[in-house]
Chain A
Amino acid sequence: QQQVKQSPQSLIVQKGGISIINCAYENTAFDYFPWYQQFPGKGPALLIAIRPDVSEKKEGRFTISFNKSAKQFSLHIMDSQPGDSATYFCAASRSNQFYFGTGTSLTVIP
């Protein structure tokens, strides 16, 4: 059973546009929600993370929106750039055990 559901599976965005990736979870015991970025041939790297006591966190062009009641969270990439083209994974964790979404392949067209 997939603990964290991620959508869409793939996304194509024009340069300068906004990329939005959504995730949903069921287990209310999760208390840490990171997003990872993975380039081909590399391991995932932490992009930004949020705790459930805040509804939004922004770091540069990347923003996480968190809706605790709906058990959903999303990643917004503002002013998307070709260099943002990568696979993005959301995750949820409790007790240092992480559950990942299935990933979103983002392509930013120049």
Chain B
Amino acid sequence: KAGVTQTPRYLIKTRGQQVTLSCSPISGHRSVSWYQQTPGQGLQFLFEYFSETQRNKGNFPGRFSGRQFSNSRSEMNVSTLELGDSALYLCASGPTGTNQDTQYFGPGTRLTVL
């Protein structure tokens, strides 16, 4: 079974621009979560989608948004980029979306904001 895939792997943007990141979960997985990873903060939870509905949301500003499609693929959008948005963005999928689900992570998208 193919793992979680994320595209693109690397991205360079300038302040004020917007960006869209994509995540394809493991086949059959319905839950997709997004995380921001930075050296100082570790992994910070952004949001979780299950069956096209946002079920959980972390403590990030409204510039961060996401959606999930009927095939469980998910996209994350960041508008009006700031320098502090530079990070590794990780997507994780889970089979059932219940608590205690194993989170299977993708390799991440490295976003650099100049």
Contact = CB atoms under 8 A, between A and B. Distances in A.
| Chain A bound to chain B | yes
B99 A46 contact: no
A49 B101 CA distance: 10
Contact of B45 (A31, A34, A97): A97
Contact of A100 (B31, B43, B55, B97): B43
Nearest to B94: A96
B61 interface: no
Nearest to A31: B99
Contact of B99 (A6, A41, A44, A96): A96
A45 B30 CA distance: 19
Contacts of A62: none
A46 B107 contact: no
Contacts of B102: 34, 46, 49
B33 interface: yes
A69 to B, nearest CB: 21
A43 B5 CA distance: 10
A15 interface: no
Nearest to B55: A96
Contacts of A42: 107
B33 A98 contact: yes
18 contacts: A31-B99, A31-B100, A32-B99, A43-B108, A44-B43, A44-B105, A45-B105, A46-B102, A49-B102, A89-B43, A96-B31, A96-B33, A97-B45, A98-B45, A98-B103, A100-B43, A101-B42, A103-B42
Of all A-B residue pairs in the complex, the 3 with the closest CB atoms, nearest first, are A43-B105, A102-B42, A100-B43
Interface of B: 4, 31, 33, 35, 40-45, 48, 50, 55-56, 58, 90, 92, 94, 97-108
